[in-house]
Chain A
């Protein structure tokens, strides 16, 4: 089995609290940055409309949480329901990862975005809203709170608080081992060929 990127096991870091539901991928990375033909360099445009007061990205919006001094260097993004809804653009997880986020903890995720995160070694963690309330409270009270995201044990820890999360077994394995999904499927080429051989001519 071919190895791809470095695996994800345990990550510790500070968090940025984006206390908002239904953050869509148009907000995460607006359309004008989608004309690139590479995967790199999207981090500087992350949350462009909220993060900058001007189109040239010279004037940061001091009100936006990502710009607040106390959350600089955060590698964990806290957010709410239905994060990543809308467009399928994988540029959204590319931008989050390029900016420096290793994991996004939210009440829930949109389906396509969730899959895109998994495929980019950006760990999406879904926690019940009561747990999210506690995490938000901890980080807002003390922005230097270290959040530990432990994938093998499926835990999020913040000080004394421990939360457990669910993740599909194959997603977990792929993230931990950093496996190349295409390489894995190519090993099933005989099965794919057998399937193709059974199809009617018109299908």
Chain B
């Protein structure tokens, strides 16, 4: 029977059937300091052990400083959380990449870099952006802390099968349009909850032509459309990215693995619950105007108003969003000054993102009204960028060059904005208060963020 990519990976991991649900085996469990301490405490209370420490990998990313390697640089509470992770990893024999380690990074950046993420795997993490790893044809999704505890104890999860959604992005991607613009355009099209209950498979020529870094940007934001996970079938781009990485199979194992990975695609006659078609040619550089990622427009389009929507919920949301964002219907984003620019996060902090931003940064200086920062996604990205001289381009243009971490995407450290600040951000969420209480976040690509930094307002990167 014809199967989708999701069905193939799902069926390969069924340990047992429990009523309508399946007990699914988890190949990799990635953990970090914020969503794991209560899970370890739960295990300890019940006298349970970590079943497979060898399948569990930890990093420090959310509550760390991007200015200092000291664990207490952001206060005693953050330090306690980081030390708790270190203690839990030590006690349970789990590999940890702590602050200062050459392999440390944002969990969704360092995992793929080390080859921990492979096609056909099931991967979970107590973080909603775990969908990132679907870029490799893995089934990867975010879980809560109770489920983290469940996976630590059993290496499995009880799950219901999700619905399937195919999103085809057809045609060739126009010059100046990035993976971030594609995924924002998709979320704009299907809506902030448009894929709830679904696993998305991204396909089509425009997706196929993307690098692994770009595919990760796409899959990363699947959750912003409400999806359980996002996947892209593995191909030669995937295999050549993986070959030689630390945890990738080697020798004969590599050949066996690739032979299996090549079977991981949706059969041509497989059916999906929902199919969405987009034409890459229609996508302009995207900027969010509201307080959820579905409230997004092309940079040259006027800011919409409540009258542009018919659904009463969307009308209400638009009113509230415009008030919070301090915008008026009909306004042009190129007339809107920004006070901050953040280039980083698990969505857009990989080497290609920094290269794209540096190309624009090299064209000018950060505007006098703007504070701009670049936060590499991992220690490896930082080293690579410095080897290429990108840090010097950013610094001489007036950007701050920081240490790797989640940083201002969610501001669990001291990288936070204050009320009224307006930020062009390469992160994934423009929720109220996400980057600081009362602060206004506009999601953009790295090139668009760099353009906003040097212009002092939003600008079409294609015209720079």
Q: How far is the CB of B73 from chain A (nearest CB, A)?
A: 13
Q: A26-B429, A30-B433 are in contact. Are A88 and B142 (CB under 8 A)?
A: yes
6 CB-based A-B contacts, threshold 8 Å: A34-B62, A37-B84, A39-B38, A87-B410, A88-B35, A116-B145
How many pairs, one residue from A and one from B, have CB atoms within 8 Å of each other in the complex?
A: 179
Interface string of A70-90 (1 = CB under 8 A from B): 000000000011100111111
Contact between A37 and B63, CB atoms less than 8 A apart: no
Interface string of B57-68 (1 = CB under 8 A from A): 000001100000
Interface string of B175-214 (1 = CB under 8 A from A): 0000000000000000011001100000000000000000
In the assembly, what is the distance between CA of A110 and CA of B193, in Å? 8
Chain A residues with CB under 8 Å of B412's CB are: 31-32, 34-35
Chain A residues with CB under 8 Å of B434's CB are: 26, 31
Q: Report how many residues on chain A are interfacial, defined by Cβ distance under 8 Å.
A: 52
Kindly state whether residue A186 has any CB partner on chain B within 8 Å. yes
Contact between B16 and A110, CB atoms less than 8 A apart: no
Contact between A86 and B128, CB atoms less than 8 A apart: yes
The 3 A-B residue pairs whose C-beta atoms are closest, nearest first, are A119-B146, A116-B144, A202-B249
Contact between A185 and B150, CB atoms less than 8 A apart: yes
Contact between B144 and A88, CB atoms less than 8 A apart: yes
Contact between B146 and A116, CB atoms less than 8 A apart: yes
Kindly state whether residue B170 has any CB partner on chain A within 8 Å. no
**Contact with B196, one of A111, A169, A192 (Cβ below 8 angstroms):** A111
Chain B residues with CB under 8 Å of A49's CB are: 432-433, 437
In the assembly, what is the distance between CA of A110 and CA of B20, in Å? 20
Chain A residues with CB under 8 Å of B429's CB are: 24, 26, 86-87
Q: Nearest CB to that of A120 among chain B residues?
A: B146
Cβ < 8 Å to A, chain B residues 94-127: 121, 126-127
Contact between A26 and B433, CB atoms less than 8 A apart: yes
Contact between A168 and B196, CB atoms less than 8 A apart: no
Contact between A35 and B20, CB atoms less than 8 A apart: no
Contact between A191 and B15, CB atoms less than 8 A apart: yes
Chain B residues with CB under 8 Å of A201's CB are: 253
Kindly state whether residue B268 has any CB partner on chain A within 8 Å. no
Kindly state whether residue A162 has any CB partner on chain B within 8 Å. no
Q: A37-B37, A169-B20, A188-B23 are in contact. Are A80 and B143 (CB under 8 A)?
A: no
Not counting A116-B145, A192-B156, a sample of 16 additional A-B residue pairs whose C-beta atoms are within 8 angstroms of each other reads A21-B316, A32-B411, A35-B80, A35-B81, A85-B193, A85-B226, A88-B126, A90-B145, A170-B20, A182-B46, A188-B15, A188-B16, A188-B23, A189-B154, A200-B260, A202-B257
In the assembly, what is the distance between CA of A49 and CA of B158, in Å? 35
Q: A37-B81, A191-B16 are in contact. Are A81 and B193 (CB under 8 A)?
A: yes
In the assembly, what is the distance between CA of A108 and CA of B192, in Å? 13
Q: How far is the CB of B199 from chain A (nearest CB, A)?
A: 10
**Contact with B431, one of A24, A82, A195 (Cβ below 8 angstroms):** A24
